[in-house]
Copies of this chain bind each other. A is one copy, B any other.
Amino acid sequence: MSSVPAIGPRRGRPGRPRLVHPQLNGSPREQILEAAARLFTSKGYAATSTREIAEAVGIRQASLYYHFAGKGEIVTELLAQTIRPTVDSVARMESLTDDPDTVLYLVALTDVRTLAKAPHNIGWLYLAPDVAQVEGFDEFTEARSDLAATYARLAEPIATSEVLGALGPVRLGEKLVHNVEEVIGLRNAGRRIDLDESASIASSCLRLCGIDQARIDLAQKTAATLLGQLDQVDGSAGGDARCG
């Protein structure tokens, strides 16, 4: 699996970051990402300029370029943020249990939460025609394919022969990614992605594999126990995902 691009501050660029609006939270870099996500998802990518993003943060345009090469790098990083947490969680989920149904359920649940927590529903951006032309978009497409390949690897041993016969593992993996991306549309429609909704989307990933209801119920129950344990460790995994 190739890694999801992690874009750091630009080195060797002229200028220094200016003071930012004191009422905003986070580093200048985080504030730029937050403002860009808001503008891209409200006005569209093409209609948003780096100048507007800088103004929204309260820095000069030149200062924005200290952190990012341009709009393309900002949107690429925002897109990477919709995939990276899920990819990073897979090994951990696999270490928690030997039950493959539960692993797939937990990974799907993490994926739902990643999309549910993304600022301003940035998962939406990858669906925009103008964003698809951005230099670096190929890296996101590749990262998303890697995520689909992970789903395929987890689903292949547990899917029914009928489902695998009709789809093959690769297409099944893609279908599971698409299934989780329902979160994006729900958020656009103003829906809250609560625990029940998250669970139902994760369950439907198992259902698409042809897994019967008894096994889905068992995976859901096992996953709930494991999430409870995780909550005690890091206090975040069990949190309620909300609309942005």
User: Which A positions have Cβ atoms within 8 angstroms of B?
Assistant: 40-47, 124-125, 127-130, 132-133, 160, 162-163, 166-167, 171, 174-175, 178-179, 182, 185-186, 188, 196, 199-200, 203-204, 207-208, 210, 212-213, 216-217
Contact A196-B166, Cβ < 8 Å, known A44-B46, A179-B179:
yes
Does more than half of chain A's interface fall in helix, strand or loop, or is it mixed?
Answer: helix
Q: Which of A204, A216, A217 has the most C-beta atoms of chain B within 10 angstroms of its own C-beta?
A: A204
How distant is the Cα of A207 from the Cα of B179 in the complex, in angstroms?
13
Contacts A128-B129, A207-B210 aside, 19 further interface pairs with beta carbons under 8 A come to: A42-B129, A43-B133, A44-B44, A44-B45, A44-B46, A44-B133, A46-B130, A47-B130, A124-B127, A125-B129, A127-B127, A127-B128, A128-B128, A162-B217, A166-B203, A175-B182, A178-B178, A178-B185, A179-B179
How distant is the Cα of A42 from the Cα of B47 in the complex, in angstroms?
15
How distant is the Cα of A210 from the Cα of B206 in the complex, in angstroms?
11
Which residues from B are CB-within-8-Å of A196?
A: 166
How distant is the Cα of A160 from the Cα of B213 in the complex, in angstroms?
9
Closest to A184 in B: B127
Check if B204 sits within 8 Å of A208, measured CB to CB. Answer: yes
From B188, B208, B213, give the contact of A208 (CB < 8 A). Answer: B208
Which residues from B are CB-within-8-Å of A171?
A: 200
Which residues from B are CB-within-8-Å of A210?
A: 207, 213
Which residues from B are CB-within-8-Å of A179?
A: 178-179
Which residues from B are CB-within-8-Å of A124?
A: 127, 129
Q: A192 to chain B: closest CB distance in Å?
A: 12
Check if B207 sits within 8 Å of A130, measured CB to CB. Answer: no
Check if B44 sits within 8 Å of A129, measured CB to CB. Answer: yes
Which residues from B are CB-within-8-Å of A212?
A: 212
How distant is the Cα of A210 from the Cα of B212 in the complex, in angstroms?
8
Check if A130 sits within 8 Å of B43, measured CB to CB. Answer: yes
